[in-house]
Each structure stands twice: as C-alpha cells, then as structure tokens.
Structure 1
Amino acid sequence: MRHNYKHITLNPFCSSNPSLNGIMKMSIAVLLPQIIMLFITKSYNSLVLLLCSIIAAQGAQVCYAVIKKSRAFLSWTIMFEGVIAGMLIPAGYPPHTLFIAVFTVLLLQNLIFGSYAQGWANAVVVILIVLYFINPAMFPPSLLPHDCFTQSNAGSRLFSEGIVQVADFDKRIGGFLNGGIFYSWGISVPEGYITLLWDSQSAIPAFRFNLLTLAASLILISYKAADSLVTYAFLIVYGIAVRMLSLYPYGSLIGGGDVLLAFCTGGTLFAAFFPLNRFGTLPMTAVGKCIYGAVGGLCMFGMCGAGTSSAAVFFCLLFLNILSPAVQYIEDRIYDFQLHGILVQAGIKGVKHE
C-alpha cells in the first residue's frame, strides 16, 4: 500500500551537537547578563549602539530576503553578529556610522557567501576594522604606557594612578581568597584584580565584564556550542608568551609577566570565546585547530603585548581570518592523500576524491 507522508524525521538518529540556530540563540542568551549590567551601570550610550547594530543587522537580512525573494526575514545568526559587533564598539561612537557599516558589511556577506556557515570572512572583524579606520580616535588608547611594563605587577599602576577605580568589595573578596584557598596554593591576587574581573570600566562593553564572559564560555563549551580546542590553544600560548616574554624587551629577566592583566584587558577573553569561534573560519581537524589557536596566541602577543590595547585584538583576528583558508586548504590536501591511500590499500584504483 502506498502512503503519503507529511513529515519526514531523522528518528531514531539524532545529533549530539546543537544546531546552528540553537548555538546562536544560546550565544545571545549567555550575553544577556552583560547587557543587563550595561543597564545597571547606566551605560546608555553603549546600549544605544548595541540597539543600532542589531537593527542594522536585521535590516541587512530583510534586504537580502527581498532581493532573493525569500521569507527568511529573521535570522538568529545575523542577530548574533549584530550583538557581537555592537558590544565591541566603544561608547560614544557615532550611531549612524555604526548603522551604515553593519548594514553594508552584513548585506555584502549574505550576497557573496549566501549563509553564515559558508563564509570564511568574519564579518564582525571586517566591521570593526572599517569603523576603526573611519574614526580611530574613538577607540581608547592603551591603558598603560610602555614604561609601566618594566615591572612584574604592571597592573598596579592602573589603580594607583586612578585609571581604573577599585571596587568597594575588592579588598574583602581578595582578602578572603588570599587567606583561604589561594594561601594553600602559595599564590595571591593583588589588590584591584577582582575589580578587573568584575568590571574593567573599559569604553568597549565586551571588554568590561570578564567574569561574566568566563561564565558564558563555560556554558557554551559545556553544551558544545563553542570550540574549546581553538580557544584553549589561543589562551595557553598567549598566556605563556605574556608570562615569559612580556618583560624581556624592557631589560627585565625572562618570566614575571602579568598574565591576569593581559587576560582582563584588551578583550582577550571575549575574543577567544566569541569572534574567534566563528563558523567557516575554523579548521576541521584537531591538529589544524591547535595550530590555528597557537598562531593566534602568538599573533595576539605580537600585536597586543601584555594587554590594555583596545584595537590590537581586531587586527589579530583579521590576520587569523586571512590565514584560515590556507590552513583549511592544507587539511583538504592531507585528507585527499589519506583517502587515496585507503582506496589503494582496499584495491580500488583510479578513484580520485573531488
């Protein structure tokens, strides 16, 4: 008997990883606490820019749907890119310039690549680089001059000179940790670093709430919504480079670099868990991901040094974006070679993988 089915499912098979839309929804959800913190801290300029970026992103999606005669007017992937772009823009940047840049770049991305996962170009990075060259003065300079990095505890200058205001709870929490858990490990957290973890007071919202970024990353990695291998390779290599080499150019001995300062300023943590993990730009193999992340860590150290920069991370991500197709091409050639060997061993000759 012939049956007509209205629905086709993959049961009993299922995927162990979330879908792309699921990942985008989860990524936006874990960023909501940071957006709420912008309300609490009365960072209204940043909220206006974030709203402009989201509207521009969805506007680009609507225009693309009209051009392609599609009904896909709402896209979670485009909304996520709008959120990320809005959070990486300094407070006070002209909203109309941001709107035009986000709308134009995302519309071109859709027209050129067709979908979020197919494009190797990181549209958010392109937006930020364009906005930087349009008005570089809006991006704050490095928090500390180079002569501050001649000492191992360079971050102390941030608080002693009032560049970052120490929170009221910093001493209480720091004293509790140093007198308890950390005391048994033989380490201590200097005064002010709890403040950097909670709110670094940067003009760029994504650089501010490092503790919330870490909490968001744990959720994303736990649910396989972010690639931990690339991120960990990036952070480990960058942290080692900062610890071992950041003081060397200033005449100090190897070692003693301020890793906490590097991680809590310059957008290191946010970049490692969000823009760095963009689909289409990541290698596919474990070795490729480790190499990609390690090169990114070295590039971050070369461009940002021991942190405190506001724009160096964008150029680091741009360099990795350019490097990505070469890494993926090498992966494809290695896969072709391995597949050819398997086919020959199996007695299948004259078969070429396309």
Structure 2
Amino acid sequence: MNDMTDAFFKKKKPLRPFLYLSPSAQNISLVSLCLLSLQVLMLALTESWGALIVIGASLSGFIGADLLHAKLVSSSRFSLVSAIFQGTVTGMLLPSTFHPVTVFCIAFSTMFLIKYLSGNFADHWINSAVLAVAFAWIVGMSAFPANPLTKDILQIKNPSYILIQNGVFPIMNGDRSVTEALNNTIFGFANISIPEGYISLLWDTHSVIPAFRFNTLTLLASVVLFASGMQGLLIPASFAAVYTLLVRFVSPVFTGAMAGQGDMILSLCTGGTLFCAVFVVQQYGTVPLSKNGKILYGILAGIFAFAIAGCGTSSAGMIFAVLCANIVSPLIQAAEDRRDVSRLRAMLSSLRREKDSR
C-alpha cells in the first residue's frame, strides 16, 4: 500500500457512518427543552414559585414513571430528555394553584400507563403531556381559571382591549413608552397604531397557567425551531391559520358581532394557542407522515380548537383540541397506508402487464 492508502486505513473512522436526513426526536426534544428553560427562568425571575413547584412535581412524576418502567421491563429504555421535556410541558400547562402531590400522581400514572400500553415509545399515538393535563382538568376542574369572555364582550370590536382595560391582563410599567416608540417608528411608516396594553399582552399575561404567559418568548422559540428545521411548519401554520380565520369570520355569526370582526390577536395570545402550536400540536409519533396528511391534521386541529376553545382565553380548550386531533391522527395514517398500498399494487400490476406484453 502507498502512503496515502496507509494513512486512510489508519485514520480513525466514525462509529456511526450514517447521517440523519432530519433531526432526531431526542435532539428536537433537547432543543425544545432549552427554549422552554427560558420561560422557566422567567418564572423564577418573576418569583412565580407556585408554578415552579408544579413543574417540579410534574417532572418528578414523568421521570419516576419512565425510570420505573425501564426497571420493570427489560426491553424498555429510559429516555431522560423526553421525560424532562414532557414533564416540563405538562407542568407549564397546569395552573400554579394545583396541589403538587396531585400533579405528581397524575403525571406518574399517565406516563406509566402510556409506557405500559405503548411499549418503548412513550408517544405512540397520543401526546402524554396532553393526556396528563386532560386528566388533571377532570380531577381538579375548579383549579383551572374561568373564561372571562362573555357574549357582550365578544359583540364589541377588539374584545382584547376591553379585557386589558378591565384589568384581566395587567399592563406593565414600561408599556406606554414601548407602545409610543413602536407607533412612532415601525407602525408609523404603515400609518398603523396599537393601543396601550398590547405589548403587555405579548410579554406577560400574568395567567396562573405558565404556558399562557410569555407569548414573546414562545414566538422567539418558534423562529428558532422552524428556521433551524427542528420542527416542520406545515402543522403549526395550518392549525393557527384555520383557527384564527374561523375566529375572525365565523365567530361573529354565533356572537352577534359585526361580520369579520373576530379578535384574532386575543385568540392567538390567550388560552395557550401559541404555546400549543409550537411545543404541543406536532409532538413526534402523534402526527401523519405525508405532507397532505400533516396539512389535514393541522386543519382539523384548528377546527377542533375553534369548536372547543372558542375565541380564546379558554384554560383547557386547546388541550382537548389537540387530544381530539391525536385521536383522529391514526385514522389519517390508516387512510394514507391504504392509499400507498393501492398505488403500489397498481404500479406492480402495470409492470406485470408491461412484462407480459413483451
């Protein structure tokens, strides 16, 4: 062998000679967890200790259930990153007034049940965080805040502004100066002005449910996840578009408001819509694989969200909307499988006829 060949064989080879065509589920969970940690940090900075305790209890339940299942079932594998991510999402979707012991029991039993039913893959067809929050709502419905929207408020143009004026969404100290600066610069060029309070609505709604609070951080997380290719844009975009369009144009039919005056900002910034669109609605293992299937899944999720959560501010509506979409997802995947089988049979039949004609 010459020197070049000898150097090639002596060179250290990678242990895994394969490349991912897309980010792995563990890497997606890890990056999403890092982005979620910013919101957890904000909870600490705002001294939201109750929310942090609930998140900690949820984390303990998910990690404990995953670890116990790995000990009891030899073929099971302990997935720490996934358990931490799902536990954090669950804790952020629960009210900070929920009792930590109850949260731990719900998180532990939900995760262990799904692990037992689904085997090694914890999210076989349903999002474990969504199921845990749904169980929590059934057990402690009174802990979830009531919907402040009434028919009278919905009949008024810009219900979000009315809720801000009523103190439902507190205005932060620097809101006026930031609003004036934006109106004089960015929005001023387009002859648009935003009223006082909308910056506070985007920054911190002060909801007892942490996932509903920091919309700006959620939007920044979406930019990172979608721009880096960690998450696909089809499902969140179709989900958010369908939901907001229904709120804009269909909700006035039921509320008696003027046509085309549904409050899209309120529907996006409250009820955890943005949080679910970024971190929940397309959890791996729960969505169809094809492009058309993903679009259909997102459209159905948006329809479910409008039917269940209404025009916004619902404390658990988005959770049950995603749960309904998870239930429909296997039907979409089954239809895709039948279609693929039919196409394969047609192709094989065509090749057979072509071979016989020769």
Structure 1 length-normalised TM: 0.92
User: After TM superposition, which residue ranges in structure 1, 4 or more long, deviate above 6 angstroms?
Assistant: none
Picking from 108, 113, 116, the partner of 1:103 is 108
Which secondary structure does the structure 2 equivalent of 1:339 belong to?
helix
Partner of 2:5: none
Q: Residues 71, 8 of structure 1: CA spacing in aligned structure 2 closer, same or farther, 3 A cutoff?
A: farther
Contact 1:152–1:247 (CA<8 Å) still a contact in 2? no
1:154-193 mapped onto 2 (5 Å cutoff)? 154-193=159-198
Residue 154 of structure 2 corresponds to residue 149 of structure 1:
yes
Which secondary structure does the structure 1 equivalent of 2:230 belong to?
coil
C-alpha separation between the residues in 2 aligned to 1:74 and 1:10?
20
C-alpha separation between the residues in 1 aligned to 2:32 and 2:157?
36
Task: Return the offset for 1:340.
Answer: 1.6
Contact 2:69–2:76 (CA<8 Å) still a contact in 1? no
Return 244-253 or 81-90, whichever deviates more. 244-253
Picking from 300, 309, 318, the partner of 2:305 is 300
Task: Return the offset for 1:305.
Answer: 1.7
Picking from 31, 34, 54, the partner of 2:36 is 31
Residue 321 of structure 2 corresponds to residue 316 of structure 1:
yes
C-alpha separation between the residues in 2 aligned to 1:189 and 1:283?
39
Contact 2:123–2:286 (CA<8 Å) still a contact in 1? no
C-alpha separation between the residues in 2 aligned to 1:93 and 1:56?
14
Return the letter of the residue paired with 1:318.
Answer: L
Picking from 250, 253, 262, the partner of 1:257 is 262
Residue 215 of structure 2 corresponds to residue 210 of structure 1:
yes
Partner of 1:84: 89
Contact 2:114–2:123 (CA<8 Å) still a contact in 1? no
Task: Return the offset for 1:332.
Answer: 0.7
C-alpha separation between the residues in 1 aligned to 2:290 and 2:352?
27
Contact 1:33–1:212 (CA<8 Å) still a contact in 2? yes
C-alpha separation between the residues in 1 aligned to 2:298 and 2:38?
27
Task: Return the offset for 1:68.
Answer: 1.4
Task: Return the offset for 1:183.
Answer: 2.8
Picking from 219, 232, 243, the partner of 2:248 is 243
C-alpha separation between the residues in 1 aligned to 2:332 and 2:305?
18
Partner of 1:352: none
Task: Return the offset for 1:69.
Answer: 3.2
Picking from 318, 325, 344, the partner of 2:349 is 344
Picking from 221, 226, 230, the partner of 1:225 is 230
Which secondary structure does the structure 1 equivalent of 2:67 belong to?
helix
Q: Residues 25, 158 of structure 1: CA spacing in aligned structure 2 closer, same or farther, 3 A cutoff?
A: same
Between the aligned residues of both structures, percent identity stands at: 35
Contact 1:262–1:308 (CA<8 Å) still a contact in 2? yes
Q: Residues 81, 345 of structure 1: CA spacing in aligned structure 2 closer, same or farther, 3 A cutoff?
A: same
**Cα deviations by residue, 1:213-251 (Å, 9 ceiling, x for unpaired):** 111111111222222100000011111111112223232
**Cα deviations by residue, 1:302-327 (Å, 9 ceiling, x for unpaired):** 21221011111111111111111111
Partner of 1:44: 49
Task: Return the offset for 1:9.
Answer: 4.0
Q: Residues 71, 331 of structure 1: CA spacing in aligned structure 2 closer, same or farther, 3 A cutoff?
A: closer
Return 43-52 or 64-73, whichever deviates more. 64-73
Q: Residues 100, 229 of structure 1: CA spacing in aligned structure 2 closer, same or farther, 3 A cutoff?
A: same
Return 150-159 or 339-348, whichever deviates more. 339-348
Picking from 47, 56, 61, the partner of 1:56 is 61
Return the letter of the residue paired with 2:320.
Answer: F
Return 240-249 or 274-283, whichever deviates more. 240-249
Which secondary structure does the structure 1 equivalent of 2:229 belong to?
coil
**Cα deviations by residue, 1:85-106 (Å, 9 ceiling, x for unpaired):** 0111101101111101100110
1:6-25 mapped onto 2 (5 Å cutoff)? 9-11=15-17, 13-25=18-30
Task: Return the offset for 1:290.
Answer: 0.8
Picking from 274, 278, 291, the partner of 1:273 is 278
Which secondary structure does the structure 1 equivalent of 2:121 belong to?
coil
Q: Residues 118, 48 of structure 1: CA spacing in aligned structure 2 closer, same or farther, 3 A cutoff?
A: closer
What RMSD over aligned residues (CA atoms) do the two structures have, in Å?
Answer: 2.0
C-alpha separation between the residues in 2 aligned to 1:295 and 1:186?
36
Task: Return the offset for 1:18.
Answer: 1.6
C-alpha separation between the residues in 2 aligned to 1:189 and 1:257?
17
Partner of 2:6: none
Contact 1:281–1:321 (CA<8 Å) still a contact in 2? yes
C-alpha separation between the residues in 1 aligned to 2:152 and 2:123?
45
Contact 2:29–2:82 (CA<8 Å) still a contact in 1? yes
Q: Residues 74, 278 of structure 1: CA spacing in aligned structure 2 closer, same or farther, 3 A cutoff?
A: closer
Return 198-207 or 303-312, whichever deviates more. 303-312
Which secondary structure does the structure 1 equivalent of 2:352 belong to?
coil
